[in-house]
Amino acid sequence: MDIIEVEVFNKLFASIAEEMGIILTRSSFSSNIKERRDFSCAIFDAHGELIAQAAHIPVHLGAMPKTLQHVLASHSFAPGDVVIANDPFHGGSHLPDITLIEGVFANGGDKPLFYAVNRAHHADVGGSNPGSMGFVTDIAEEGVLIAPTLLVEGGKISEGFLGGFLARVRNPEERQGDLRAQLAALTRGRARLLELHTKYGARHMEAIIGQLQDYAERLMRATIAALPDGTYRFCDFLDNDGVTREKLPISVALTIAQDRAVADFSGSADQVRSPLNTVESVVIAATVYVFQCLMGEGFPINQGSYRPISIITRPGSLLHALPPAPVAAGNVETSQRIVDALFGALAQACPERIPAASCGSMNNIAIGGRDQRTGRQYTYYETIGGGMGARPDRPGLSAVHTHMTNTMNTPVEALERSYPLQIEKYAIRYGSGGKGKQRGGDGIIRSYRFLSTGQVSLLTERREMPPYGLQGGTAGRLGENLLVRQGKSRKLAGKINLVAQPGDRLIIKTPGGGGWGSPG
């Protein structure tokens, strides 16, 4: 193996995924994709194994290999075919995350050389609540579920499928625009991959990809082998399921045995009636992400990274939900608590390396209604950052997205131009980080004023169970959701659907990160 050549190809493949993301950003319609960049792009080999990914969203990227497994088990690609899917129970994450997959063929070839893939969070895919991220008890209420289906066949869009999908969603023009942006990103990925194939040839490319994946596996094995053998247990909790006040345990038994790791989540809570349920692919994404953090930056991330890690879940549990469980919040909230539980376990194995708990919530807000300025229906979705947990050698960052999310904020100017909302305050929530030798990062205060009636859905966590500190550091401050109407403020539940009236203010105060080390 020529390690220099392998690394050059690693960067080449990753750059293709990054370029796909640039095309998707510039071509998309919705603020959630264009401004917040809530999407991910990756490249897979002919066997459906990950070659490279862009530095996009961990919860998307870690679940994609499972998606490819399910799609390739039921579909044979021909040139010009693009498959669309969002089924959480077959490799997806939640319904708004729509995945497009295209096989890349050489001229005259009958089998794909590669697969170009992207996954984007659409601001609405139908269902009971605008934004498709509301509090419901059945996945049918969350929106349109798409089993793997040909969106494009032989280079021609399936107008029958597309028309049926658009008829069931809010703001169909925006949905169609975002889907076409995803197709444009695949087109760029296909072109760049074929350029590499033409320049280097199929045999050389296949050999390099195999070496690259084996190299990533060796790096991951070395990372695990550096940890002391043993079984490390940790349990953290979700606030509640929104139906009852009962806390939901996320329990892990993490076993390190030489150069392999086994994460057993079977002791976690049972499946619930609310959208906090999580599918197996999201658990995989969260677990692999934690170990990739231990590897550090600059190393190749591909299918080889997954090989030394085994994951055990219990079907019918919160972390292996079965249909027809709703799962919208499992992707965005429960995934964060999986990370917290894993880092809590690893803090016993290597306390000098593990940070305190971060914000622990993506602080999801979805708003929809009719814009009185234009008379048109709108849907808006965003997540809000918080405080990063303090690290052993430095404080946590303030007002950032952490762990399973890697999105940006929606600029105030873009939001107010496109929606009947005003942002009255957008500021760091000073003093919300936990105390310690290293202080936890502070959260965010974001205040919305409604200019017209809006249907609001909140899916938030760490409103009752604060982000933990480590090694004597104190916990981060709890988040808060407040509604101010006619000068009177009332506290809102962490998970709620409500109707806001013109003049109402919705104030979201996100949690701070935990502190690290004794304060004195």
- 174-188 tens-digit pLDDT: 999 999 999 999 999
**Any domain includes 445:** yes
3-class DSSP state for residue 406? coil
Domain limit, last residue, from 192, 216, 240: 216
Model confidence band, residue 406 (pLDDT cutoffs 50, 70, 90): confident
pLDDT: is 243 or 55 the higher one?
243
Q: What is the pLDDT of residues 70-112, one digit of tens each?
A: 999 999 999 999 999 999 999 999 999 999 999 999 988 889 9
Two tokens, residue 248: 């939901």
**Any domain includes 457:** yes
State the DSSP code for 486: T
Model confidence band, residue 297 (pLDDT cutoffs 50, 70, 90): confident
3-class DSSP state for residue 258? coil
**Any domain includes 181:** yes
**Any domain includes 448:** yes
Task: Indicate if the pLDDT at residue 201 is higher than 90.
Answer: yes
Task: Indicate if the pLDDT at residue 162 is higher than 90.
Answer: yes
Task: Indicate if the pLDDT at residue 1 is higher than 80.
Answer: no
Mean pLDDT of the chain: 96
Q: What is the pLDDT of residues 238-295, one digit of tens each?
A: 999 999 999 999 999 999 999 999 999 999 999 999 999 999 999 999 999 999 999 9
**HSE-CB of 482 using CA atoms within 13 angstroms:** 16
Task: Indicate if the pLDDT at residue 27 is higher than 90.
Answer: yes
Distance from C-alpha of 90 to C-alpha of 272, rounded to nearest angstrom: 19
Q: What is the pLDDT of residues 490-518, one digit of tens each?
A: 999 999 999 999 999 999 999 999 999 99
Give the structural domain span for 488: 355-520
% of the chain with per-residue pLDDT over 90: 93
The whole-number pLDDT of residue 373 equals 87
Q: What is the pLDDT of residues 351-367, one digit of tens each?
A: 999 999 999 999 999 99
The whole-number pLDDT of residue 409 equals 85
Distance from C-alpha of 79 to C-alpha of 186, rounded to nearest angstrom: 13
498-512 burial, b at 16+ Cβ within 10 Å, e below that, comes to bebeeebbbbbbbbb
Domain limit, last residue, from 216, 236, 260: 216
Task: Indicate if the pLDDT at residue 345 is higher than 80.
Answer: yes
Q: Compute the 3-state secondary structure of the chain and give helix, strand, coil in percent, each to the nearest 5.
A: 30, 25, 45
Mean pLDDT of all residues in 293-299: 88
- For 112-139, the DSSP string reads -SEEEEEEEE-S---SSSTTS-S--SSG
**Any domain includes 33:** yes
**Any domain includes 263:** no
**Any domain includes 195:** yes
Domain count, the chain: 2
**Any domain includes 339:** no
The whole-number pLDDT of residue 316 equals 97
Q: What is the pLDDT of residues 429-465, one digit of tens each?
A: 999 999 999 999 999 999 999 999 999 999 999 999 9
Domain limit, last residue, from 156, 181, 216: 216
The whole-number pLDDT of residue 58 equals 86
